[in-house]
Amino acid sequence: MQAFIYTYIYINLYKMEQKVLHYPTLKTVLAVEKVLKNAELAISREEIKRRLQMSIMHQTLNLILDYFEKRNMIIEGDKGILWIYNPSPKLDKAIKKAERYKH
């Protein structure tokens, strides 16, 4: 299943309508994901670059982060970027059973 998801990521990156100089490899996408998942707090783009064990172009990092954000895997705020994706079936079930709060 995970291989399918990342193949899907790679294909969708090619469909983006912007002039991209360099598309990320699957290895790079996975490395950025790992850094974000292991971060306990929100981290900046520069901190992501420092924590990666490889060099990455700024545009390539932005492309990966845009992809993650469009799929609700990360959230970006004033203090940086935070991994929020949780594929837990229990969480999905709890969200579906929850009722909306009315003021």
pLDDT digits (tens, 9 = 90+) for 3-57: 556 656 655 655 555 577 778 999 999 999 999 999 999 999 999 999 999 999 9
pLDDT for 87 beyond 90: no
Predicted confidence at residue 82, as pLDDT, reads: 96
Identify the pLDDT of residue 36. Answer: 97
Structural domain spans, the chain: 2-97
94 burial type by CB count under 10 A (0-12 exposed, 13-18 middle, 19+ buried): exposed
pLDDT, tens digit, for every residue of 42-82?
999 999 999 999 999 999 999 999 999 999 999 999 999 99
Entry pTM: 0.70
What top-level class would CATH report for the domain 2-97?
A: mainly alpha
Q: How far is CA 76 from the centre of its chain?
A: 10
